[in-house]
Structure 1
Amino acid sequence: MQKYRRLRYSSLAAAGVAAAFLVSGCTMEDAICSNGEYPVKAVGGTTGSACVPDDEEPPKGYVRYPKGKVPEHVDDKWDKYWSTVVVDENGNVTKD
């Protein structure tokens, strides 16, 4: 009987954690950047990105993503897309 009681409490605890994520608006997906930061893409390659504080410009060799095409979570639509293209120093796609 004790075994079933522990299992029931474990299940309730897991359901409570899941409900807390849903209510708080959090997701279980890995965010690209932390709060107070935005992602930037490396110029000249398909790989390479960084996170920059909101109040700073991208460092040399990086550009901002176009508005509406910013990756927010690992492996989301835009994260996958930007890993397949190369951009120039103006953020223009140069190669698919």
Structure 2
Amino acid sequence: MRTANRIRTTLGLALAGVTVALLTGACSMQDAVCGGGEYPVLHVGSAGSACVSDDEEPPKGYARYPEGKVPERVDDKWYTYWETRTLDEDGRTIEIPAES
């Protein structure tokens, strides 16, 4: 009987550990603004963003976020900040124009 209890306890702890690992891994991947090997870029003059491969420049109409103001996770400080702002053609931060 003692052996059966040890086996159940060991299995229970193993399952709990696997569950925690899976949940933790899924949350951190889900919250990232871009995947591994990518960086986020802003759509110039309007709302919108995209992810670009680390070895590529931003496509036409997009720009890199200003240094130190790059969102890394969904709903982090900079992600929220850029929900209402963008860059103009000269690289200045502006409020996102209201849609007509």
Whole-Å separation in 2 of the counterparts to 1:90 and 1:57: 17
1:13 aligns with 2:31: no
The two structures have a TM-score, normalised by structure 1, of 0.71
Task: Report how many aligned residue pairs link the two structures.
Answer: 85
RMSD over aligned CA atoms reads 2.7
Contact 1:62–1:89 (Cα < 8 Å) also in 2: no
**Cα deviation per residue 1:34-65 (whole Å; 9 max; x = unaligned)?**
111000001111x2100000111100111000
Identity of aligned residues (%): 54
SS of the residue corresponding to residue 52 of structure 1 reads strand
Looking at structure 1, the residues matched to 21 and 95 of structure 2 have their Cα atoms a distance apart, in angstroms, of: 43
Amino acid at match of 1:93: T
* Aligned pairs for 1:27-66 within 5 A: 28-29=27-28, 30-45=31-46, 47-66=47-66
Structure with the larger helix share: 2
Structure ID, larger Rg: 2
Where in structure 2 are there 5+ consecutive unaligned residues?
1-7
TM-score (norm 2): 0.68
